[in-house]
Structures are given as C-alpha cells and as structure tokens.
Chains A and B, each alone.
Chain A
Amino acid sequence: MSEALLKVRDLKIGATVYPPGEKPHDIEIVHGVSFDLAPGKVLGLIGESGAGKSTIGLASMAYGRGGVKITGGEVWVNGRDIMKSGTQDIRKLRGGEVTYVSQSAAASFNPAKQIMDQVTEASIRHGKFSKKEAEARAVELFRKLGLPDPENIGDRYPHQVSGGQLQRCMTALALCPEPDLVVFDEPTTALDVTTQIDVLMAIKEAIRDTGVAALYITHDLAVVAQVSDDILVLKMGDMVEYGSVDQIINAPQEDYTRALVSVRSIDHVEKQPTSEPVLKVEHITARYKGTNFDVLHDVNVELHPGQTLAVVGESGSGKSTLARVITGLLPPKGGNIHFAGRDLSSDLAGRSREDLRELQMIYQMADVAMNPRQTVGTIIGRPLEFYFGLRGAEKRKRVLELLEEIEMGEGFLDRYPAELSGGQKQRVCIARALAAKPKMIICDEVTSALDPLVADGILKLLLNLQKVEDVAYLFITHDLATVKAIADSIAVMYQGKVVRYGNKTDVLSPPFDDYTDLLLSSVPEMRLGWLEEVISNRKMESAGN
C-alpha cells in the first residue's frame, strides 16, 4: 500500500452537459477507473477523444475543468485521499507534490509575465526554495531540457520564444518545485513531428534524471510506448486494458487495444506510372498577395490516373499552398498546370465547368466544409444538379448510390451535418466530391482531425473508391504513416521546395537527403526502445561530424 505514490480506486467523474433544446443534466464521463503509480514510474494514459484521459489526469490534482466533478471513488496521493482533503492541503498538493504540463504551452503561460517568474512561482510560493535557489534550479532545468541560452531565456516573455521551446519551458515549470508526480497532458501533440522528437527526448531525459513519477496522457500509442513503464488504455471513460508497456504493445489482449496497435498497417502496393499523367505541375512558383517571399519555388510533380501522389511536409512547407494553386484559388507567379491533357487556366474564373467538375477537393475540417443549413441529401445532390442537371427521382437515386458507396444508408439523407460523427462528416464530403465524377481529387489533410481508428476507416474507403471509380488523389498530409498506407508516389516538401520526389519505394529507401532523413527518423514507431535508438544514432552522427 505505502509504495504507491498515486493510487486511484474506482474513480467516477461526472459533468453537466447543455444539449440544445433540452434541460441541462449530469452525465458520467469516467466510469470507475483504478490504477497505481509507484514513485519514479511513468504511466501512459491512452485513448481517443472522449476517452476521459485528461479528466483523469486532472483528477489526480483534485481539479475539474468547467463543470466536471469527481462523483465517486478515491484518489490517494502520498498516502492520503485527496478527495477528503481541505482547501489548504489541496493547494499544497497542486504545484508542490503534483504539477501539470498542458498541450498548449503558448496559452498556458501568462503573456504579461516573464518566463522565469512563472517557472519559479510555485517553488517560491510553496516555500520549497528561496527565489535565488529556484532561479538557479530553473536555469539548470533549462539547460537540461536543451533550451538555447539557458542563463537568459527566463528573462524573455512567452511570445518571444518558439512553440517547441515554450513546451520545454512548461516542462521546466512543472519540474522546478521538485514534485513527486508530473501530469503531462498531450505535451507534444501540437508540435511538428521533427520538433516533437526533440521535446520528447528532453522530457524523457528529464524524467529519468530527476526521478519524478509521471502520468503521460496522449492519443498516440507510439509516443507513449517510448516514455512509459505501464499503459492504461481507455475508451469512452472505461478501462479497456491495463498492463506493462511490453505487454500492451507486443501482446495486447483486448480487440480495441489490438486495433490501436495495428492502426495504419494498411498494405498498399504501389502502382507503376502510366504513359500519360492526369496532372502535370511544371515550374510552379507562388507567393501570397502583400508578401515579399515565395511560398513555392519551382515545384514540379506529376500524378497518374487512378493513382495517389502524397505531398508530405511540416507546417509552413507550402503543401497546402500547392493545393490552392492547383485549384485556381491562388494564381501562381510562374509555371503551368496541365490537367487531363489540356492546359489549365491559372485563375479560377478562367476555368470551364468541365475543368471544375473533373478536379474536386476534400478538406481537413469536414464540419466547416459543409453548409450547416443543408441536409446530407442537398449537399451530395447539388453537384449532381449543377454538373449533370439531375432532378427529382433521378437525383435521389444517384444520391442513394453514393451514400451506399461511402457505407452510409438512406437514413442519412435528411440529416444535417451537426447530427453526424466526425468520420461520417468526412464520408459525406467524399461522396460530394465523387458525385462530380472527377478525374482527380485533392485531399487536404483529410484524416488529421480524426481519431486513428476513424482515420483508418476513411483511408480504407478512399483506397476502395480509387479502385472502383478510377480516380487519382493528390494527398496532402504531414503524417508519414498515412503516406506509407496510401501513396503510389511521394513528394517531400520543405520550405516551399520539393526536396525529394519519386515512387513510394524509392522515396522511402536510402540514401536520403538530410531533411527526409530527419523527417523519417522523427516519426514515432510502435516499438519499444525506438526513441533511445534515434537518440543514440543522432548522437553518433553528430559525434562523427
């Protein structure tokens, strides 16, 4: 009993919901969760959105966000039930014994105060260290976390450092008062993949060096596998599986866990290029109005009929700009676009209805890509009406066929987008694009906003539809796992340039250029010891240079 730092027993958490047109009422969002965490150990809490993982993490600090209340069970920290503790004791617990690292450090730092003040505040106010000691400790943590200029970075204001650096400052903030437990709530989710690995390394080393225990909350099983000792899998507020990292990753017992582990394991053999590409982008250079730098430099790519070209890159690489140029929303400064054997006008207004019909687009955020005041039937029916002049029963018949194709039934015809789940919304957007009988569809991060299992379903659907409809995809994404699952050819973009381009096998096989190497090696893999491997590889490389 006494060895557990954090002991949670049958924890139940409720929240008040305010559904439109109904009276507010209480629902239970976590239904009886139990686990133990020994000093110095790391427990990963994993699950999709709505699993209740953040709520459980905050419960260990006796905190409920918004209308969230702990309704039952026990939470023991350092040998006392904090549900029964008084205000003074809770205050000592928070920021003293248990600290918190949030997903968005940018929002969690007070914009009006210097970083050092905020990092040392808890240590000083809880009387753990004097101001001088706390500041010395903060500088040491800044150094340990690999922040540049550790002596002086504390004098800066939050907006003066980058997102990845601020996330490390937040980790320093949490570690400064020498807590017994740190709650990490998706600390790397908002970061680009090459930044994520640095922060992940820094966090892992800091945990190891300080011997602090941690609750590591994330939706990414590959990430949590790198830092945890144990993993607790959650689904809709229920415990699904609880075991050691080794057991969860290598021998999952439950179907749900197995699905999470094997996600993105779609086997897709690449197709060979044909003689005539459907899309040929030649020497495209583009810049936004009112700026003085090119966001695209001399981009050349081809897409063959019925195939998928994945354009991959991090934020700011220009991949979405490329999509805007191809759709005609952003006329390029220079270069040509050939589509279906003809030159495409660079401007949207100069394109024929046939051009528009054959080139469709699917967006990242399905909920804002559909007019909330139109039913699914109207949304899918409009392109039929607009391009093919279908009306009445004929249109309805075709809409139903399309609904069939996206594996949704007739019952959805009269529903509004708000009544659909995230995956269903994206399916309707796919049906709308297919309704035009296009030769090519641009897919802009279409799975990024979805939970892994749902995203998996969408990818499988897209691959099936490609076979049936013989449509080409220009697939824009930051996620290399998605690329591997779906692409026939790949273009890697970095700072507005295509740095690597070819068919899938060639692009993903060595020798690599520096950026592709960095990008590929930064993607967390679902196996134990991956992070250590990368760290030691990179150390060796830098030692070699």
Chain B
Amino acid sequence: MSPIVKLLAQRIALGLLLLFLVSILIFAGTIILPGDVAQSILGQSATPEALANLRADLGLNDPPVQRYFSWLGGIMQGDLGTALTSGQDIASSLGKRLKNTLFLAFWAAIISVPLAIFLGLLAVRYRDRWPDKIISAVTLASISIPEFLIGYMLMYIVAVKLRWAPSVSMINDGMSLGEKLNSIALPVMVLTLVVLAHMMRMTRAAILNVMQSAYIETAELKGMPMFWIIWRHAFPNSIAPIVNVVMLNLAYLVVGVVVIEVVFTYPGMGQYLVDHVSKRDIPVVQACGLIFAAVYIGLNMIADVVSIVANPRLRHPK
C-alpha cells in the first residue's frame, strides 16, 4: 500500500500548495493592478488628508508582502477582515450566505448527479438510436445558452406563465424545509439543467470508453448477460472516470451558482460577491474569490484522490 499512500500524500500536498499560490494570485491581482481602495471608498471628491488617514487605517502603506501575510494569517484564524462598504465583519455575513449557497448546490447535486449517470447509461445503452440522439441534441442546446438565460426562460415559463413556483427565491431561517425547497425549486432546476448536460455528455463518453475495452468483449464472448457485464466488468473500471466527471461538474456548479443567485436574487455567496465587485469592496472580493477557488480546488483534488484509490495497479502493486 505504500506507493498509494505516497501518491495520495503528494496529491494532497499539491492541493495545499495550489491553494497557497492561488491566495497569492488573488491578493496580488487586487493590489498590483491600478486602482486605489481608499479612493474608491471615499470617492473622487475626497480630500488628500482624509485619503491619507484612511490609507493608514487600512494598512495600505505597509509593504505588500507584510499586508499579504497579515491577510493570510487572519484567514487562517477565520478572520476574513471587514467589508469597506458596510464596515461589517466579512466572516459573519459570509457564514450564513455560504450555508445558503451550499444548500442550493447540494440539492442541485442530489438531483443532477444520479440523473446524469442514469441518462448517460441510457445514452450508452441506446447508442446512435433515438434516446441517444435526443439527449445529445438537448445537450448541445443547453451548452449553447448561458446559464442566466436558461434561468429567465424557465422563470418566464414555469413561474410567470404556469405559476408553479415563485420567481424569486428568498429563504430565511424561519422557513421549514418544505418551504425552503419550494422556494429554491426554480434555481435548482436551472442548475440541474446546466450541469446535467455536461455531466451526461462526459459520463456517456467515460462509459463508452470502458465499454469499448477488449475485456468487455471477452466477457461478451464468455456468454455473460448484458447486465452482469455492466455491473461486474464495466462498473468497477468506470468508478474513477465517473467520479472525475461528477467532481469536475460540481466544480462547474460552483461557478454556475454565482450567476443563478443573481437571477433569482437568492441570498447566497454568489450574489454577495457580484454585489461587492460592483462596489469595488476588495476585502470581500478577495475572501469570496478565495473560498470559491478553495471549493474548486478541493473538488478537483477529491477526483484525483478517487482515481488514485480506484486504480488496481496502484492498489495491488507488483
């Protein structure tokens, strides 16, 4: 088992290193580029004195490296800084929103992952027949329209014309689970649709790849029934590619969530981020950017870890 442990350790260390470098990139991206935080808070009419005071308060006069490490040190202890625009603690306002975002993403994932795998299998089973063709046509269409437009189209049809679900997704702690689910029905539907297309397409490709292996032919020539072949021969070899597909698309979901929250004015992290980008509230942007990137890197890391663990060559070394 030692090579596998070594590889896993390497992969996790790489993930952490990547996260560290990304934090540098996000920090550097917001300070190297032209633009002055103090100026953007106080506006063009601010007096030079007020500007200088604010700069000193914000620590903008310190060397960038020192500012970076005090920022990073704060994050390590759960202190994300204070928002420039509202003066509120970022960590506490983010906490609730992060929970809401994860709630939304969770339900989208719960519905889309099994559905995508099922439809992917269906497409493989009926390859080049009409179920496969319909699935690929729908996929092409949904890949060709941006997420927010799918959102408005569904809102127009489902919420406005059919009146089956609310067009705005407000949730708060006082609501029961059922009320919450009713409230997020539309955004979940949109996210599912968006992710489903990609996931289905990739699942189909991954399974087809396995089904075309010579060992599947061997099993067929042993006279094994189709279900047995898929379950006993194709499935164990498909775990790694399918997990990869799922993780990649969950990472994609993270991005989709940002836009969809804006469409349905859902009180999550994405809307918070977009709001504060327009307000040029840099500490909030940095914090949100880092969290989104961390989730993205984390999901990719899980995918790699699963493929390492599922690889028989690594699990049973010579």
**Residues of A participating in the B interface, judged by any CB pair closer than 8 Å:** 58, 61, 63, 65, 90-96, 99-100, 102, 104, 107-113, 118, 121-122, 125-126, 156-157, 159-160
Nearest residue, chain B, Cβ from A96: B223
Min C-beta distance of A122 to chain B, whole Å: 4
| A110–B223 CB distance below 8 A | no
B222 touches A125 (CB 8 A): yes
- Which one of A61, A91, A100, A159 lies within 8 Å of B225 (CB-CB)? A91
Question: How many chain B residues have a CB neighbour from A under 8 Å?
Answer: 21
Q: Is B215 an interface residue (CB 8 A)?
A: yes
| Distance of A110 Cα from B219 Cα, bound (Å) | 9
Further contacts, 8 of them, CB under 8 A, given A95-B222, A111-B313: A65-B217, A90-B223, A99-B222, A109-B215, A110-B236, A118-B218, A121-B219, A157-B312
Whether the Cβ atoms of B220 and A104 lie closer than 8 Å is no
Given A125-B228, A160-B318: A111 in contact with B215 (beta carbons within 8 A):
yes
Contact with A along B205-222 (1 / 0, CB 8 A): 000000001110111111
C-alpha spacing A109/B223, complex, angstroms: 15
Question: In the assembly, what is the distance between CA of A157 and CA of B318, in Å?
Answer: 9
List the A side residues contacting B224 at CB < 8 Å.
91, 95, 121-122, 125
Contact B218 A109 (CB under 8 A): yes
**Alpha-carbon distance between A125 and B313 when the two chains are bound, in angstroms:** 27
List residues of chain B with CB within 8 A of the CB of A122.
222-224
Neighbour of B221 across the interface among A95, A110, A112, A118, CB < 8 A:
A95
Residues from chain A with Cβ under 8 Å of B214 in the complex: 102, 104, 107-108
Q: Can you report 22 A-B residue pairs in the complex whose CB atoms are below 8 A from each other?
A: A63-B221, A91-B223, A94-B221, A94-B223, A95-B224, A96-B223, A107-B214, A108-B217, A110-B215, A110-B218, A110-B236, A111-B215, A111-B313, A112-B236, A113-B236, A118-B218, A121-B219, A122-B223, A125-B224, A126-B223, A157-B312, A160-B316
Query: Counting CB contacts under 8 A, is B276 at the interface?
Result: no
Nearest B residue (CB) for A65: B217
Partner of B316, one of A96, A108, A109, A157: A157
Contact indicator A159/B223 (Cβ below 8 Å): no
A100 and B218 in contact, given A112-B237, A159-B313 (Cβ under 8 angstroms) = yes
Most central of A92, A110, A157 by chain B CB within 10 Å:
A110
Known A111-B313, A159-B313; contact A94-B237, beta-carbon cutoff 8 A = no
Residues of B within 8 A of A (CB): 213-215, 217-225, 228, 232-233, 236-237, 312-313, 316, 318
Q: Is the CB of B318 within 8 A of A159?
A: yes
By DSSP majority rule, is chain B's interface helix, strand, loop, or mixed? helix
Given the known inter-chain contacts A91-B223, A94-B223, please indicate yes or no for A102 contacting B218, CB distance below 8 A: yes
Instruction: Give A285 to B221 CA distance when docked, in angstroms.
Output: 49
Q: State how many angstroms separate the Cβ of A66 from the closest Cβ of chain B.
A: 9
A residues in contact with B213, CB < 8 Å? 107
User: What is the minimal beta-carbon distance from B309 to any residue of chain A, in angstroms?
Assistant: 12
Please, how many angstroms separate the alpha-carbon atoms of A159 and B219 in the complex? 18
A118 and B215 alpha carbons, distance in the complex (Å): 10
In the bound complex, do residue B215 and residue A107 qualify as a contact, i.e. CB atoms below 8 Å apart? yes
* Cβ–Cβ contact A94 & B220, under 8 A: yes
Contacts of A160 in B (CB 8 A): 316, 318
A111 and B237 contact, CB distance less than 8 A: yes
Question: In the complex, which residues of chain B have a beta carbon less than 8 angstroms from the beta carbon of A63?
Answer: 220-221
Cβ–Cβ < 8 Å partners of A113 in chain B: 232-233, 236
CB of B285, distance to nearest CB on chain A (Å):
44
Q: How far is the CB of B199 from chain A (nearest CB, A)?
A: 23
Docked pose: A160 CA to B312 CA in angstroms = 10
Please give me the 4 A-B residue pairs with the lowest Cβ-Cβ distance, nearest first: A95-B222, A94-B223, A95-B223, A107-B214
In the bound complex, what is the Cα–Cα distance between A100 and B220 (angstroms)?
10
Interface centre among A112, A125, A126, A157 (most CB of B within 10 A): A112
Task: Name the A residues within 8 Å of B236 (CB-CB).
Answer: 110, 112-113
A402 to B48 alpha-carbon distance, docked (Å): 83
Alpha-carbon distance A122/B237, docked complex (angstroms): 20
The chain A residue sitting closest to B213, CB to CB, is A107
User: CB within 8 A of A94: which of B215, B222, B232, B312?
Assistant: B222
On whether the beta carbons of B312 and A61 are closer than 8 Å, the reply is: no
Q: Residue of A at shortest CB range from B240?
A: A112
Q: How far is the CB of B170 from chain A (nearest CB, A)?
A: 48
Would A93 and B223 count as touching, CB distance under 8 A?
yes
For A61, list chain B residues within 8 Å (CB): 221
CB distance from A331 to the nearest CB of B (A): 32
Point out the residues of chain A lying under 8 angstroms from B313, CB to CB: 111, 157, 159
A108→B233 CA distance, assembly (Å): 11
